[in-house]
Structure 1
Amino acid sequence: MTLPELVRVAGARWSVEECFQAAKGQVGLDHYQVRHRTSWHRHITLAMLALVFLTALAADAAPGPPAGTHHFLRARDPITLTVPEIRHLLAALAPPAMTAARLLHWSNWRRRHQATARRSHYRRRSADEPAG
Structure 2
Amino acid sequence: MFTLAALAICAVTAAQARTHAPAPILPATPDQQPPEDPGLITLTVAEIKRLFTLVTRRLRPETHHLHWIWWRRRHQARARWFHHRTRLRRDQRT
TM-score, normalising length: structure 2: 0.69
1:55-74 aligned at under 5 Å gives the runs: 55-62=11-18, 63-64=20-21, 66=23, 71-73=25-27
Return the alpha-carbon distance in structure 2 between the equivalents of residues 55 and 122 of structure 1: 26
Partner of 2:88: 126
Tell me the percent identity: 34
> Structure 1 segments of 4 or more deviating over 6 A?
none
Determine if contact 2:40/2:76 at 8 Å carries over to the other structure. yes
Return the alpha-carbon distance in structure 1 between the equivalents of residues 71 and 22 of structure 2: 22
Return the alpha-carbon distance in structure 1 between the equivalents of residues 64 and 79 of structure 2: 23
- How many residues align structurally? 85
The CA RMSD over aligned residues, in Å, is 2.6
TM-score, normalising length: structure 1: 0.52
Return the alpha-carbon distance in structure 1 between the equivalents of residues 86 and 55 of structure 2: 37
Which of the pair has the greater relative contact order for Cα pairs under 8 Å at 6+ separation? 2
Gap change, CA 1:64 and 1:110, over 3 Å in 2: closer
